[in-house]
Amino acid sequence: MASYRLAAYGLLIRDESILLCRLGEKESECGLWTLPGGGFEPGESPEQAALREIEEETGLDAELGPLLYAETTLRRFDDGREVYQSRFYFLVKGWAGREGPEANCFTDAVEWHLLDAVSKMRVADVVNIGLSALGE
């Protein structure tokens, strides 16, 4: 029987660059670059989840812009597990604070990368989906 996961992500764009987080040792895909974001906590809306995850993973207080895209997919893992994922992608229109993940966060680096360079990087699928929704 398949399980279900809700997640929300933010696209922070500045001067032809995007802010990405690198997954740390706690994650199975260690070293992969991803958008700031992640799973909902009980009772959260997509907007609340995105804002909390962005703050946890980047240290920034964000102001969300529009919802760019939402999708539900079925992900099948090699071990036989199946997970339905509903993911929400928001443009972030403003932020404040100093970049850096929380000490207990699943990411170990937060960096700006040129949009043109992202295609040559090892990135999570959410990065490509988010950029496609943005029209990049």
Tell me: the pLDDT tens digits for 50-69? 999 999 999 899 999 999 99
Predicted confidence (pLDDT) per residue in 85-103, tens digit = 999 999 999 999 877 666 5
What pLDDT is stored for residue 77 in this prediction?
A: 85
Instruction: Pull the structure tokens for residue 43.
Output: 């009772």
User: Is 2 in contact with 82 (CB distance < 8 Å)?
Assistant: yes
pLDDT of residue 33: 96
Residue 49 half-sphere exposure, CB side, CA atoms within 13 Å? 21
How many Å apart are CA 81 and CA 60, to the nearest integer? 34
Structural domains of the chain, ranges and CATH numbers in brackets: 3-117 (3.90.79.10)
Tell whether the model's pLDDT for residue 108 goes beyond 80.
Answer: yes
Q: Alpha helices of 29-99 — where are they, by DSSP H?
A: 46-58
- Give the Cα separation of 115 and 131 in Å (integer): 9
Question: Does the pLDDT value for residue 84 go beyond 60?
Answer: yes
pLDDT top residue among 115 and 101:
115
- pLDDT score, position 111: 94
Q: What is the mean pLDDT of residues 13-41?
A: 89
Tell whether the torsion through CA atoms of 43, 131, 69 and 80 is positive or negative. negative
Contact 91, 11 (CB under 8 A): yes
User: What residues contact residue 127 under an 8 Å CB cut-off, 6+ apart?
Assistant: 18, 20, 33, 34, 35, 118
2 SS3 class = coil
Cα 34 to Cα 32: distance, rounded to the nearest angstrom? 6
pLDDT of residue 41: 97
User: What pLDDT was estimated at residue 17?
Assistant: 97
Q: Return the pLDDT at 104.
A: 57
